[in-house]
Each structure stands twice: as C-alpha cells, then as structure tokens.
Amino acid sequence: MTDDDRPLNILFLCTGNSARSIMAEVMMNAMGAPRFRAYSAGSHPTGRVNPFALELLRKNRLPTDGLRSKGWDEFARRDSPQLDFVFTVCDRAAGEVCPIWPGQPISAHWGVEDPAAVEGSDDDKRRAFFYAYDRLRNRIQLFLSLPLAQLDRVALTQRLKEIGKS
C-alpha cells in the first residue's frame, strides 16, 4: 500500500482493449488485491470484450461482470484514479503517443501477441488466448513478487522492463 493507504493503481493498455489488457486487468485484480487495483483501456477501443477472453476468464473462475472496452482518455482526466504503473501489452499501443498521465506513473512494455488476430478454428483461437493469458499471468506473478519498497524508481523500471521480456 502507499503512504495514504490506497492500493497502487495499474493501467494495462492495448489498442483495442478487448482481450489482452482486459485479461491482465482481471488477473491483477484477482491476484494483487488488496495491494493493487488494475484497470485497462485502449487507444482505439473496439467497444466490446472478445468472447474468447470472457470464456477463458470464466473458465478460470475469474469475475467478468462489468468488463467493457474503453478508451484511455478515461484515465487521463483529472478525476481519474492516480496511476502508479502503466503497462502496454501490445506493440501497437507501445509505439503510440500516450496521454500524459497525472502523477508520472512508472511504465513498461509487456508485449504479448494478439490472440484476437488469430484466424482459424475456434480451437486455434482458444489456444492463442490461453497462450496470451499464460504469459500475462506469469508476468503478473513476477511483478507481484518484486520487493517494491526496496527498489528505487530506476531499479524498479529496469525490473519491469525485464519482466516484459520474459
């Protein structure tokens, strides 16, 4: 927790905010509570959550109520939660000019291949979603194991970049 006893806020960004960023938001909220509170958004939100992402989250007994595809503008407003971390989970969002986030959160790129772009059978798509889910879950577990209080901003930024390469 922070000095003001609030959870640390994390924003997961992707272009469409329909799959990877949504899954990361849900996993972080499940695995990191009460210490962390996660959100997700996209630079060009699709307006819907991918049904394969919802299916996988439900299969893993994670909550899906209230999930929606939303734009990152919601988190750049004055009344939005103060962000402590911003993680891009797709290469397109990492290369885009992001809004200026109030509070100067620490950011890192945790790129994962887009499962929503996979063509083929439903089983092919499910495998792609599982692969993305598994990589994100592993990175979140690594993040949650970091001794945050013992790392300065530079060291923490470096560790977050290393996690993105795992």
The CATH number of the domain holding residue 15 is: 3.40.50.2300
98 assigned to active site: yes
28, 90, 94, 132: which one is catalytic? 90
14 assigned to active site: yes
Q: Is the pTM of this model over 0.85?
A: yes
What range defines the domain where residue 62 resides? Answer: 8-164
| C-alpha dihedral sign at 19, 103, 92, 161 | negative
Domain count, the chain: 1
- Asked if residue 52 is part of any domain, the answer here is yes
- Asked if residue 152 is part of any domain, the answer here is yes
11, 14, 26, 49: which one is catalytic? 14
17 assigned to active site: no
- Asked if residue 44 is part of any domain, the answer here is yes
- Asked if residue 2 is part of any domain, the answer here is no
- Asked if pLDDT for residue 36 goes beyond 80, the answer is yes
54, 71, 51, 72: which is closest to 63 by C-alpha? 54
- Asked if residue 66 is part of any domain, the answer here is yes
Confidence label for 1 from pLDDT (cuts 50, 70 and 90): very low
Position 152: which residue type? Answer: D
- Asked if residue 98 is part of any domain, the answer here is yes
8, 62, 76, 98: which one is catalytic? 98
Residue 133 parent element (H or E): helix 122-144
Between the CA atoms of 25, 30, 35 and 36, what dihedral angle is there, to the nearest 10 degrees?
0
Give the pLDDT confidence of 62-104 residue by residue, as tens digits.
999 999 999 998 888 888 889 999 999 987 644 555 666 777 8
